[in-house]
């Protein structure tokens, strides 16, 4: 009954969802493209009995990448379908895999779209990254006897409270899952408390610890430093959101009192913010350079990374990394990538989306949590102490290497579900 009313409400709001796509397309035209796919219309029919991976956006796509690559390596003939909901996620899929996977946008969560969609793609297994659960999708998978695995699953305390408010929808969804591969035991217990049967839970760890670094990443970082100025300090704000770049720009003059040639590297999370971040930096009276318009020279003070798919390369050239999404109540972003690069890493207090990862890094002194009120002092502490940064970077790399292995376990579980 709850799903029936959910479907009625969703149907009534569908015009709003479409209008929102059109509105967001003002800044990112990708939202206005391939809209038919969101109604379940495929560009062409993919091969049947394949692996279907759903990754919402950039973060989930990057998390899924090592798993997809491992499946391709061990099962080269296995068809793989990847769905996303955002155009930036779509761009990441194309950049990482090209034509080696079938990509499309995820249809809206209505039975009228799911039935023909599932009949056409006929997958053998659906793997949903992290916690992207939709009531009608789960019901449709059950009707088509399609196994569903929630991979790299996380459930923060805040999210659990939200799901608990709609238990009439949440509990049936969880009971329809074939398996939840949780990042840690704490998150796994929250799934059980929300209604997941205990025999459907397995703690595998986070696939993000299995980050796949390019072989030449160190050389790429050195090349960037040669352009920027090898002796100057580089502070990177990774995956920033509105309100965070401004905080770094506000303390820049104070930081320059100790490091007059400091380069501030701003890496916005979303492409639609590239122009706004550039404008804010220029209004601060600083020498600003956009990556798309040339390399940063030694006179550049703020370098805006208005490109996609270069996060690792850019971070490899930094001395200190501050993770975005954490200086404002957004939930934070993944600090594993800078840790895997051996970089000293800081995060703000709002890191609920990656609490277990942050706690693991903090426990080994591989990451520090800073408060916006004393951001300048905390950042200076690390910029002024190269030995401390080196120790933190080495500790981070050790934590990452210690926790690798979740991808291979997911491959094994997927093979069992696909009966390969």
Q: How far apart are CA 226 and CA 356, in angstroms?
A: 36
**Residue 147 and residue 132: Cα distance in Å, rounded?**
15
Which runs of E-coded beta strand occur in 241-382? 263-268, 288-290, 302-304, 320-323, 344-347, 368-369
Please, what is the end-to-end C-alpha distance for the chain in angstroms?
37
206: buried, middle or exposed (CB in 10 Å: 19+, 13-18, 0-12)?
Answer: buried
Question: Contact, 35 vs 18, CB < 8 A?
Answer: yes
Tokens at residue 363, please? 């426990």
Burial of 23 from C-beta contacts in 10 A (0-12 / 13-18 / 19+):
exposed
User: Which tokens go with 42?
Assistant: 């495929």
Within 8 A by CB and 6+ apart from 92, the residues are 58, 61, 62, 84, 308, 309
Nearest-angstrom CA–CA distance, 313 and 331: 24
Helix (H, G, I), strand (E, B) or coil at 179: strand
Residue 60 annotated as catalytic: yes
d(CA 100, CA 289): 35
In the structure encoding, which two tokens stand for residue 420, read together?
A: 């390969």
Q: Among all chains, which residue has been given the structure tokens 């990254």?
A: 129
Instruction: For the chain, state the CA radius of gyration.
Output: 22
Provide the H-helix boundaries in 146-273.
157-164, 167-176, 185-193, 217-228, 245-256
List residues bridging with 129 in a β-sheet: 151
Catalytic residue among 37, 60, 130, 337: 60
Contact 267, 322 (CB under 8 A): no
Alpha carbons 337 and 17: distance in angstroms, whole number:
33
What tokens were used for 351?
């890191």
Token pair 């391939």 is found at: 34
Cβ within 8 Å of residue 14, ≥6 positions away = 108, 110
Supply angle C-alpha 368, 370, 371, rounded to 5.
165
Catalytic annotation, residues: 60
């Amino acid at each position: 009954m709850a799903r029936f009313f959910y479907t009625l409400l969703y149907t009534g709001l569908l015009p709003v969802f479409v209008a929102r796509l059109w509105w967001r397309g003002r800044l990112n035209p990708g939202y206005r493209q391939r809209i038919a796919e969101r109604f379940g219309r495929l560009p062409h029919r993919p091969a049947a009995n394949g692996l279907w991976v759903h990754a919402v956006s950039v973060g989930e796509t990057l998390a899924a990448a090592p798993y997809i690559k491992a499946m391709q390596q061990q099962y080269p003939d296995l068809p793989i379908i990847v769905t996303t909901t955002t155009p930036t996620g779509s761009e990441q899929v194309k950049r990482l895999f090209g034509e080696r996977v079938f990509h499309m946008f995820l249809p809206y969560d209505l039975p009228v779209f799911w039935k023909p969609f599932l009949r056409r793609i006929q997958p053998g297994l659906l793997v949903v990254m992290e916690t992207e659960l939709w009531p009608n999708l789960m019901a449709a998978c059950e009707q088509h006897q399609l196994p569903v695995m929630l991979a790299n699953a996380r459930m923060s305390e805040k999210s659990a409270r939200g799901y608990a408010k709609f238990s009439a929808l949440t509990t049936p969804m969880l009971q329809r899952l074939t398996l939840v591969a949780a990042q840690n035991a704490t998150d796994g217990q929250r799934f059980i408390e929300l209604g997941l049967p205990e025999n459907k839970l397995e703690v595998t760890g986070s696939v993000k610890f299995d980050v796949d670094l390019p072989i030449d990443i160190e050389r790429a970082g050195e090349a960037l430093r040669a352009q920027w100025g090898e002796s100057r300090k580089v502070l990177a704000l990774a995956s920033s959101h509105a309100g965070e770049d401004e905080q770094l720009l506000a303390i820049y003059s104070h930081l320059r009192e100790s490091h007059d040639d400091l380069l501030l590297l701003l890496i916005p999370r979303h492409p639609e913010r590239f122009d706004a971040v550039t404008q804010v930096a220029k209004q601060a009276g600083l020498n600003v350079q956009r990556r798309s318009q040339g390399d940063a020279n030694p006179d550049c003070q703020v370098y805006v990374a208005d490109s996609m798919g270069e996060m690792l390369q850019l971070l490899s050239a930094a001395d200190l990394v501050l993770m975005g999404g954490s200086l404002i109540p957004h939930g934070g972003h993944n600090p594993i990538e800078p840790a895997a690069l051996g970089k000293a890493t800081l995060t703000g207090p709002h890191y609920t989306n990656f609490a277990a990862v942050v706690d693991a890094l903090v426990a080994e002194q591989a990451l520090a949590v800073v408060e916006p009120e004393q951001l300048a002092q905390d950042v200076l502490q690390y910029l002024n102490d190269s030995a401390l940064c080196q120790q933190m970077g080495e500790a981070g790399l050790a934590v990452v290497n210690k926790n690798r292995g979740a991808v291979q376990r997911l491959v094994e579980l997927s093979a069992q579900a696909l009966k390969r």
